[in-house]
Structure 1
């Protein structure tokens, strides 16, 4: 098969890692795969075993980047399958608009509904900030976004929550598959740095993983830590992730609260080091305002690291269905701090969450997830596309 995978800013971000895993396995499977993405600085495309085509952005409205040449590439490559990733982006809308004209089957993974979710939180007064063009959200959904989804040949939902939204706009059940993202092999290892916990020298050791941005809301974690320190004076918070917009603001907040010595910004790190941190720490904190389904929660499960999460996207469903984490409200540092303290003090419950996570994580291995995605591709290109498995 000839397969085109479309995604915004490869290789950065959760959707981009999702695409990388699929593309790598397609190559290993002997398929012809191309990743079509935007131009990025300081990226070595020769490090990947698949073709990458980077298109320039000629205009942007917030995160909506208009790429030059996408239609030409889609015509030239003659893909059997185009798999567009992320709802609310130009490349997904364009791939949907052109599918009949060019003649490929279209699969879309929405990776959540970030803009819609943030708009709803703003309306509920849970947050005061919104994306720059949030006022256009309902207009975009009705006039463009939902039509994009309805034209797709198949939709992949990362969680039941996405599937519910697909159905709400009128997508038929047979066009929907609920398939979570996978856990990379490195997180199933048995060996890790046993000495790291002692080197970190804190109690409890709290971990946060994700790009530093207001949508990930690391500021709430820092505010919660200032409350935790009143009862747990040796607590430490390790924040891992590439800075998007917030590093300076977060450091200023730490200084304002007088907790600079208890918060550590480690920047982006390799998977092996992240794996060791997950085994060294006591709790993973994830306070995102909008998600599809957070891969880092799945990776924490494989490492036996209990998590505390907001109900963003499919994260609340994951917590309830696996018993590996605890849900807290959005933007509530008091509740977040109390929940973490309660977990740390209840070693029996902490171990139960860890064991649940490890046991459930096996079903999320990337090889298993890829088989389900590949079956969709195969069925769509077969003579009888009604065979698509939507379980």
Structure 2
């Protein structure tokens, strides 16, 4: 059974929620429709004509890419221009294009985590926090006979976690009152008669990102026709999301040795380096894409070196003066997202018995050539 477009993207957004992207990022469906069966998914870093030809050959009618194909507002769509021809080809072959960019960078287990893992970084934290998933207190009132069913349903959504503890709740017995009016079909009691019901006040903690999911699970599992529940914001720090990663190495190495780790781990033949190749690296930072503005953040977090792309001349001089080394393997190292995303999506589709294949693009979209 082939998956619908909305189903594939639901899996994608569960992994890399749009809500954690930086403001104004060009993400989401940029071309085509998801109102169709997906014959194949192609995961690519960039959408080029060669990538489109690859999708056509694979019978893939959905491309999930990291870099947007529409970055600035279009004033016209002329098919005589290079980009116009690209859009025309996608439309003629009914290929939709969905973009997952900074949300995929930031996501737990996403681009920056894949890069950090490839470089052997441990105990990682973001270079710069971009948002947090604030906590809410969910409270409801349920008959004791249905308490376990309701608790289990709510906990199954991911609610009830405090640090390394799960299934956290507080439960208080009490008496609830209500009077069913005309047109009701009460679980207990009679229309027009005040009812006194023995109930349990069940309260637990949920991240705000799970609010809708937890409330839906509560309502579905609760026996009452009208479910009473409360949601309270909590002054507790939620899960932090951010760009880049800073982590420790298993053992100190020289900058020159770490360069070789970067080249092998990120699959690049050459890098640009700022710093003393004999200097010691104990803690490193990594950020996919353009990272010039994050060098100071990496330094503040105690990194001896930052691995990132598109470093400009003056940033390199400032870093050298400040005492942090830089390894610039280029922007294209984000290609690590191709097998990463393809693996995540294929596993989730397979688990739900869908036969839609997911392919990692084999097209090299690196535009620079080193001679």
**TM-score w.r.t. structure 2 length?**
0.25
**Higher strand proportion:** 2
Structure number with higher relative contact order (C-alpha < 8 Å, ≥ 6 residues apart): 2
Please tell me whether Structure 1 or Structure 2 has the larger radius of gyration of its CA atoms: 2
**Higher helix proportion:** 1
